[in-house]
A and B are shown apart, each in its own frame.
Chain A
Amino acid sequence: MLQSFRHSMTWVHTWFGLALGFVLMVCFFFGSLSVYDREIDRWAIPASRFEPQPMPSFDRMLEPAFRRIQLTKEAREEAQTRNEEPLPDTLPLHEWGAYTTHRDPVLSMWSGFELTRPKDPDNDHVYGVMTLDPRTGQELSEDKLKIGSQFFYPMHYELHIHWLGLGYWIVGLAALIMLVALVSGVVMHRKVFREFFTFRPKKQTQRSALDLHNLTGVVALPFHFMFALSGLIVFAGIYFPVGETMMKPLAKAHQKLEASRTGLPEEAAGIPAPLASVDAMVAEAQRRWAARGMAGEVGFLGIHHVGDANATVSVYRAGTDRVTLTGEGIHFKGPTGEVIREDDPKTAAAGINDFVTGLHLQHFRHWLLRVLYFVGGISGCVCIATGFIFFVGKRKRQHAATGSQGARIVDALAVTTVTGMLIATATMLVGNRLLPEDLPLRGVWEERIFWSAWGLAMAHAFWRTAAVAQARIAPAWREQCWAVAGLAGLAAVLNWVTTGDHLFKTIADGYWPVAGVDLVLLASAALAIVAARKLRLREQAGAPAAKEDAPAPLETAHA
């Protein structure tokens, strides 16, 4: 497009990076938090602060629990819109599922029901959910939001924008642009190897921001590339839905063929039949895994066509010491308990796909790799944040001279997505500790707190970045750093006050899920204070002559 390949790539890097950088910031930050989603859940739901539990007995505990699962009012109303006739009080059962991991003390269960006269025959199910304490068989209130796995985790792949599935598409576009930014960044960067270890914090802000941008981008490049790519591959079926559109006949034919080949019936027989002992099937599955030299715990238990003669029970392994997904599913006839089949050995393509997916979803057990993933994700945040700072710093003097508001708007949006996002996150955790325990729809209130705090931070960012239009450092950065420090510290203190689980206790007990969240909160607060003080110095130094360039709240991105 421009005079040279390098110029064209620079243009692409700058403008696409700017446009999608704000989304990428959200993806990288909440993606990093998702590495520890289960731990954040423990912090947010004190009643679930106990050791991870294995899959409990189906016959004694799970079956009665499954039968208690009801549709929520919202789910029933939503399902009604998809049904031709008024839904009866009790819907026919279709499937049950129970899922746990080596980091989950509580069990996620769901029950799928069939619509009686669906408008769309391919969209004829509705689900009820339950969270179970496997020690007692009692359910936990669904009003308590699992902030890590139900809020931060979906945020990083769909932004909680549900309309037309738009959130997925925005994130998908951002991930593609991340790949583009990495390639174009390497093309632009003249000294990838010569400046591999270079970071000069004492130089002019522009220079040190660019150093940090290059450092965090280049050093963790394989991580950034693989995560953006594998994220896209995980949702490839959403981005290129060939099986639901153009190739639907082929997909359907394949499904039919698979059902007859594997002996796993697609449809219910319509003849009621009781289930044999599922515990015996689980024991048989574990015996078969052990015989293959891959003993393991059960991660996922699924029952199809519940109560029907065609019922099947599928038992899958939990994550292990392998990167790749290792379900190794074994399938049983529900009414008799005889083995129908074991999953086929993976084809080459499926093997690669499961590795790439497993690498991203990280069901495996490896504490060090989890830490390194977190660090990698945060380095991505630093890379994006410093990109904004460089962009603003490079243009603000020229914009100040011409009266353009461009640099100011970008700076305000950068404040919103860097420190503002941290404020929203920390405020949500504070709210989680302050809201009454038995407040109805407690989780909804927590989400409202999150979005309101982010909105306020954005308003503040636009108000307090006026200085950028005069080519100075916006006070918004410093002020929001103080807010982050206060809120993050407060969240850790409130955890102590409301639950008694202070750091000395959790560390002494070796209870790392809660200790870790508290430690990260306190470290974030400390970094935010350091950043705020440095910003004050730079603001003072740059105040009269506008000598210094953009702010350097680089550390805050670590929070």
Chain B
Amino acid sequence: MPDALLLAAALLCGIAGMGWLALAMDVHWRQLRSGTPARKIIVTLRVLGSTALAASLALCLTVDHVSMASLVWVMTLAASALIIAFTLSTRPVWLAPLLVWLPART
């Protein structure tokens, strides 16, 4: 079932992308790290987030016709944003892997 795997990957990319975009915001950054993120980190997080969302779209396009894929992608983004919002409100540490390349200072 390669299609199912590709769609799962698209959803994962969507979740990761939304996660990075959320962590680029002060309020959510502070749920994992202290202080405010440096300007450079914010830019990096946003680039990572946007890239992951674009990758999600690319994956959707490999599975379906373009009209179907764009619909799947829009809905995937909504679901990803919901998942990230609920994760941030209950288990923010689950998003720690998204910042694994940034060692905590203290």
Do the two chains touch directly in the complex (Cβ atoms below 8 Å apart)?
Answer: yes
* A residues apposed to B, CB below 8 Å: 194, 196-201, 215-216, 219-220, 222-223, 321-324, 355, 359, 364, 366, 368-369, 372-373, 375-376, 379
Answer yes or no: B27 CB below 8 A from chain A CBs. yes
Task: Say yes or no: A220-B78 contact (C-beta < 8 A), given A197-B25, A201-B90, A372-B72.
Answer: yes
Interface segment out of the listed B37-45, B50-58, B80-88, B98-106: B80-88
Answer yes or no: B16 CB below 8 A from chain A CBs. no
Q: Are A324 and B75 in contact (CB under 8 A)?
A: no
Please measure, in the bound complex, the distance between the C-alpha atom of A235 and the C-alpha atom of B67, giving whole angstroms: 23
Q: Are B75 and A376 in contact (CB under 8 A)?
A: yes
Q: Are A197 and B84 in contact (CB under 8 A)?
A: yes
Q: Are B72 and A368 in contact (CB under 8 A)?
A: yes
Answer yes or no: B93 CB below 8 A from chain A CBs. no
Q: Are B75 and A223 in contact (CB under 8 A)?
A: yes
User: Interface residues of B: mostly helix, strand, loop or mixed?
Assistant: helix
Q: Are B67 and A196 in contact (CB under 8 A)?
A: no
Closest chain A CB from B103 CB (angstroms): 24
Task: Say yes or no: A223-B78 contact (C-beta < 8 A), given A197-B28, A366-B64.
Answer: yes
Q: Are A321 and B88 in contact (CB under 8 A)?
A: no
Answer yes or no: B96 CB below 8 A from chain A CBs. no
- Beyond the given pairs A215-B85, A223-B75, A375-B75, 17 more chain A to chain B contacts, judged by CB atoms under 8 angstroms and listed by A's residue number, are A196-B22, A197-B22, A197-B88, A199-B86, A201-B89, A215-B82, A219-B78, A321-B68, A322-B65, A322-B67, A323-B68, A355-B67, A366-B72, A368-B11, A372-B72, A372-B75, A375-B82
Answer yes or no: B13 CB below 8 A from chain A CBs. no
Task: Say yes or no: A375-B67 contact (C-beta < 8 A), given A197-B88, A199-B85, A366-B72.
Answer: no
Please measure, in the bound complex, the distance between the C-alpha atom of A355 and the C-alpha atom of B67, giving whole angstroms: 9
Q: Are B81 and A196 in contact (CB under 8 A)?
A: yes
Task: Say yes or no: A373-B27 contact (C-beta < 8 A), given A199-B89, A219-B81, A366-B68.
Answer: no
Q: Are A372 and B76 in contact (CB under 8 A)?
A: yes
A200 contacts across to B, CB distance below 8 A = 89
In chain A, what residue has the closest Cβ to B72? A369
Q: Are A369 and B68 in contact (CB under 8 A)?
A: yes
Answer yes or no: B61 CB below 8 A from chain A CBs. no
Task: Say yes or no: A219-B89 contact (C-beta < 8 A), given A194-B25, A366-B64, A368-B72.
Answer: no
How many CB-defined contacts (below 8 Å) exist between A and B?
A: 74
Q: Which of A223, A322, A355, A366 has most B Cβ within 10 Å?
A: A366
A375 contacts across to B, CB distance below 8 A = 75, 78-79, 82
Please measure, in the bound complex, the distance between the C-alpha atom of A249 and the C-alpha atom of B90, giving whole angstroms: 63
| 17 sampled A-B residue pairs with Cβ under 8 A | A194-B27, A196-B81, A197-B18, A197-B28, A197-B84, A198-B85, A199-B85, A199-B88, A216-B82, A223-B78, A322-B67, A323-B68, A355-B67, A368-B72, A372-B72, A372-B75, A376-B75
In chain B, what residue has the closest Cβ to A358? B67
A368 contacts across to B, CB distance below 8 A = 7, 11, 72
B64 contacts across to A, CB distance below 8 A = 321, 366
A216 contacts across to B, CB distance below 8 A = 82
Q: Are B67 and A324 in contact (CB under 8 A)?
A: yes
Closest chain B CB from A216 CB (angstroms): 7
Task: Say yes or no: A372-B79 contact (C-beta < 8 A), given A197-B28, A198-B27, A321-B68.
Answer: yes
Q: Which of B64, B72, B89 has most A Cβ within 10 Å?
A: B89
Closest chain B CB from A167 CB (angstroms): 28
Q: Which of A197, A216, A223, A369 has most B Cβ within 10 Å?
A: A197
Please measure, in the bound complex, the distance between the C-alpha atom of A376 and the C-alpha atom of B78, giving whole angstroms: 8
Other-chain contact of A321, B65, B82, B84, B89 (Cβ < 8 Å): B65
A215 contacts across to B, CB distance below 8 A = 82, 85
Q: Are B89 and A359 in contact (CB under 8 A)?
A: no
Task: Say yes or no: A323-B85 contact (C-beta < 8 A), given A197-B25, A372-B79.
Answer: no
Q: Are B71 and A323 in contact (CB under 8 A)?
A: yes
Please measure, in the bound complex, the distance between the C-alpha atom of A150 and the C-alpha atom of B82, giving whole angstroms: 32
B28 contacts across to A, CB distance below 8 A = 197
Task: Say yes or no: A322-B68 contact (C-beta < 8 A), given A197-B22, A368-B7, A369-B75.
Answer: yes
Other-chain contact of B71, A197, A199, A369 (Cβ < 8 Å): A369
Closest chain B CB from A66 CB (angstroms): 35
A366 contacts across to B, CB distance below 8 A = 64, 68, 72
Closest chain B CB from A169 CB (angstroms): 29
Closest chain A CB from B85 CB (angstroms): 4
B75 contacts across to A, CB distance below 8 A = 223, 369, 372-373, 375-376
Write the B5-42 contact mask toward A (1 if CB under 8 angstroms, else 0): 00100010000001000100101100000000000000
